[in-house]
Each structure stands twice: as C-alpha cells, then as structure tokens.
Structure 1
Amino acid sequence: MTDFSKNLKNKLLFPFVAPPNGGKGTQTQILSERYHLPTFDMGSTFRAIMKEGKDPELKAELESYMNNGKLVPIKTVVKVFQKGLEALAADHSEAKGFILDGFPRNQEQADALLELCQHWEAELSKAIYLNVSLDIVKARATGRRFCSENARHVYNVNDECLAPKQQKISPDGSIATDQQGRAIGLCDIDQAELIVRTDDEPQTVEKRLAEYQKETNPLIEHLQEKGYLAEINGEQAPEKVTLAIESLIQPILGLSTAS
C-alpha cells in the first residue's frame, strides 16, 4: 500500500450514476458541501491530465492510444482513477468519504473499483442511481438555452418555470428563429440572445443517451445484484431528490436523519 493509498483506509465511497442531464451535478455539489464529502470528477481529472499537463507520464500513455484512434484500455482508465482519488484523499484526510462522479461507468470498471476498495481498505457504501426517464432527459437537454453573454444564465424552453420571458423579434415583426427554425429567446437579465450548445443538439443528445444505455444498463444490474445500488427517483423536484439521498447517506455517515 502506497503512502497516498493509506489515506483511503476506512473511507466511505459513494459513486453516483445518472443519465446525461439527470441532475447528478446539482446533487453531488449540494451533498459534497453539506456533508464535507469531496467529489472526485473523472472527467475533470482527464482534462487536467490532457490540457494542464499535471501528469506528463500519464498524459503520454493516454495519447499513445488516443492519437492512434484506439480506445483507452481499462488498465489505464483505472490508473487515472486510482492516482486521482488517492491524490484527492491526501488533500482531504479529514473527510469521512468521497463522492465519485464518472467512475465507474460500466461493469468492468465497477469490478475494478471493488478490487481497489480491498486494496485501500475502503468501503463502497452505496452507488446512488438517479433514475430519470430518457424522455425527460431529452426534454431537459434539447430545451436548454444559454445566455450568449453570460453562460451562467440558463433557461429551458420545455419547462414553463424556466423558460425565458421574451423572444427576439425580427424587423418584420415576426419571432426570430435560428438555422434550425427554433425561436430565439432573450435573456431575462441582460437581453442577450439565448443559444443552443452543440451538446444539446438533438442528434448529439440521442448519441450520448445511446452510449449511456449501452454501458450503464449492465452496470446498474451488476451493482443491484451485488447489493450496492440505491435507486432514487430523479424526476422529483431537486430538493426532494436531495432529501431522498440524505435519508440514505446520513445513517451511513453516522448522522441522525433528523439533522
């Protein structure tokens, strides 16, 4: 056991599984801050390696596959995860546990995580699965609009409560539309045009959801068979989703559910 791996002894691990736009980011941020559970983000870790050069040796290993159009093998993916989580644990030795975002993504990674837990003497507590129907996920994604001046101003034309109040008007008095014929809304705050990001285009959303189903459905079944899965209705209001997760993790953390 390395010096860094010792920091994970007796730590509680909470993987989160959810479809794209399933509310995972919102919930992990709330729970991380409220319960002092640092979040390990696999996507951010990969970006830090590839763009920021934080680990030149690991970057070279990843590039040796990616530059040749090959899939990164499980052994390398697990190495990225292990080094990243051990570094996070070293920086937060006082934490009771960690939230895992983006790992595991499939059954093979789940088995690797269980092996690592044995190595670290850590505990895979519960894998929290936010169950959101694909129709709702599609509506969330394809209806999302971002202010072109300030991306933190976000709207959703498929949700009456989140839809912009104004639309852009053309010189002839009609509602202005984009190249796909969609009405162009205006930001309620600064009146800038609202835009659709590439990731939210219908064809991109369909592709991401197909990939998610292919990998994640077997993962969910695998975790359920092993008794690690905790399913939460992710279609509730965000605050109700939070309460449902809290009622699950508070006893695991040794806290009263009334706290």
Structure 2
Amino acid sequence: MELIQSDPWASLKAFTTARIALGRTGTAIPLREVLAFKMAHAHARDAVYSKLDTSALQEQLQSFHLPVPLLHSRAADRYEYLQRPDKGRRLDADSAASLAPQHADVVFILADGLSATAVNVHACPLLQQVLPMLKATGISVGPLCLVQQGRVAIGDEIGALLKAKVTIVLIGERPGLSAADSMGAYITYGPQVGNTDEVRNCISNIREEGLQYPAAAGKIFYLLQEALRLKLSGVELKDNYGLLS
C-alpha cells in the first residue's frame, strides 16, 4: 500500500485539468498518477488515429439545409497523412473537380485534423450556435464541406474553388494529455492556395471542458463580421470580442 504525501497546493487542482499537485510516495510519483498518465497518453494516440464519422455528420448537417460535399485530401490514408503534411493541405483531383463557385460570404470546412473525435463531437453543436447568428445578419453561407485527411490549409483551396470571401475550418487539434477532443476554428479572409498561418485567426480548445459553444460561437461571429468589414484576417485582425461589453 502506497503512503502518499500530498502537495500543499492541491486545492489549485479545482481550477485546472493540468497535472499539478500529484503528490509523491518517497521520491516517486504515486502509482495512480502514473497509470492516469498512461491512460491519457493512450486516449491521445487513439484520437490521432480516429476517423470522421461521415455518415453521422452528414445526417446531422442536413438539418442546416445546406449542401454537404464529402471531400478528400491527397493523403490516401492516415499513415500518409501523418508522414506527408503537404498532402493533407491539398484536395485530391476528384474532390477539386467537384467544387464549383458559390460566391458565398463564408464557407465552413469540417476536417479531421489530428483528432477526428473532436469534430465528430463538437462541430455540429457549435454550428447550431453560429449559423442562426449568420442568418439573422444576412451573411451568406456556402456548402458545409466534410474533408477526410485534411489539414488547416486545405480550406484555402476549397475557399478559392468556391469563390468564398472567408473560410472557417473546424478541425481537430493536436491532442494533449488532458484534452484528446479539442477542436479549433481557423478563420481566413481571401482564401487562396499558398496562404500561410499569419493570415488566419485561430480560436482554440472548443469543447465542453474548455471554450464552450456559446463563447466560441460569439468569437467566431465577431471575427467573421470584422473580417468581412475590414477585408482582412490574421495578425492584422485583433480579437477584441467582449472587451467593450
């Protein structure tokens, strides 16, 4: 039986899921914490190899009454996706040929990224918050694109082919050891192949235990309106959401 000596600042664990105040037994970490770490690592690995539930997502997305094209990157499978990031940034030939100009204000792209689990769980609830805001203000929305084996930059090619003013990529973030289902939203004005990350605004850690859906939806709505008004995004577009409220 382990004799565990607790940390004097253990009360701070109430405010974070980070691994703090683990206690110790002798000079070692308690066995329960070692096992918890191994379990978290297993969840993170599982998230990286998870797959988009395209059938369920297509069914849920139908409620928004928008086209839902199913697209694929140039990465043939998960192993190529992880070894060749460049292939995850571009559409395969069939997917690119299937897209025609829509000239919408904004296009949403749902991509697996490094945690398809995050998109499977959080994308539709977030869209339920965001899309009514856009409709109420007259912002036009193009197809809701589902992309398998996609990275953030694949939104540039999709947006360019659809002639969208702005793309918003909802994508699974690299899983951490306390969050295997974190989703990010990347907003880009003027999408075109070759864009780099300084032209994007990122909203990170969208999940129930992180940035919850109403707050994430508010940030997306604010940044989208500002991007359309100022005709820019990225480092030049400051996130002042909530500062003046």
TM range (shorter): 0.3 to 0.5
- Larger relative contact order (CA 8 Å, sep ≥ 6): 1
**TM-score (norm: length of structure 1):** 0.31
**TM-score (norm: length of structure 2):** 0.33
